[in-house]
Amino acid sequence: MKMLFFECEPWQETLFRKAFTKNQLFFSPHPLTQNTIPQNHLDAEIISIFTCSCINPNILNHFPNLKFLITRSTGYDHVDLSELKKRTIAFAYIPHYADRSVAEYTFALIFNLARKINLAIKVSQEHSHSIDVLRGFDLWGKTIGVIGTGNIGSNVIRIAHCIGMKTIAFDVKQNDILIKECGTNYLSLEKLLQNADIISIHVPLNEKTFHLINKKNISLIKIGAYLINTARGGIIDTDALIEALQKNIIAGAALDVLEEECLTHDPSRLLSQSHPDEKRLKIALENNYLLNHPNVIITPHNAFNSKEALERLTRETIAEIEKFKKGNG
């Protein structure tokens, strides 16, 4: 079979080549977009992507022989699943490879906000001895509200419980183990926003969670609370977030994901369009505002990015492809 791998690092390419010695392979470090379609490999049967490759009908039209698409990620909001189904293209994703990694990163962001570590590093580099601007707050005794208590959210709650935080949660399905072991209290989303000192988001992005935090409910957030998002950018309405910062409803935010983050990290993708979408352009500009806000920490979708997590991701991707090949051999 001919396989194409996008957003692929050199060490991953080595492992994929070792695993699929009898197949025709193509590798690209770039996302799969209209501008990066490999014209000499349109007969590909298997394509592997990461989060900045947006799979839509226009992309799929170029690959008439495609039989299997796999995204090396937990989320799959960048893939048009209904279109894959219409074309009878099999699909897979890797759901649990970074559960612990993302939870640990979430707390790295929380500690950073609480103790102003980024600013402390800057003060030290400037040889300043004024530490009054660095005064933070203890996490012990504070309340963390976790939106989504799947594997990642559950790990966040366990870490919070271990350092003496009170835990509240919102989810369509309660986790009885968290209630028993961590004393977690499940509340409505509105009550969680009103009572949490720190709000951390861990739900997938879909029709029900798109702009889950929006202009209607962001004003309910406890004054002075902090908002953390290591899930997907579209769960928070960027307009609402900026309004909450400007009105001092929230004291700050730590965001590993943004709406239209791929355009923010690579503006040339927006400039390459003959008629850029006005809404996407507006969000990209708003993201620049957030990047320069003194009370906002932004990292480049990095929570998954640990050595162990990526090794698990690559192994599981190989296993999923092998499973598909055996079923279609």
Listing DSSP states for 195-244 in one string gives H-SEEEE----STTTTTSB-TTTGGGSPTTEEEEE-S-GGGB-HHHHHHH
User: Strand 225-229 vs strand 198-201: parallel, antiparallel, or unpaired?
Assistant: parallel
Unique residue bearing structure tokens 């570590």: 117
The CA distances from residue 283 to 195, 268, 280, 289, in Å, are 29, 15, 5, 10
Chain center to CA of 309 = 14
**What's the rounded Cα separation, in Å, for the pair 233 and 211?**
9
Q: Is the dihedral of CA 100, 104, 105, 109 positive or negative?
A: positive
Is residue 17 among the annotated active site residues?
no
Is residue 232 among the annotated active site residues?
yes
Q: Which residues contact 157 (CB under 8 A, 6 or more apart)?
A: 144, 146, 149, 167, 169, 178, 182, 184
Run of H or E residues at 36: none
Catalytic residue among 72, 78, 301, 312: 301
**In the chain, how long is the greatest CA-to-CA distance?**
68
Q: Which residues contact 218 (CB under 8 A, 6 or more apart)?
A: 193, 237, 240, 241, 243, 244, 249, 250
Is residue 301 among the annotated active site residues?
yes
Catalytic residue among 232, 259, 260, 312: 232
| CA triple 217-219-221, angle to 5 deg | 90
**Bridge partners of 284?**
none
Catalytic residue among 260, 261, 286, 316: 261
**What's the rounded Cα separation, in Å, for the pair 329 and 321?**
12
Run of H or E residues at 128: none
142: nearest Cα among 113, 116, 177: 113
Which residues are catalytically annotated? 232, 261, 301
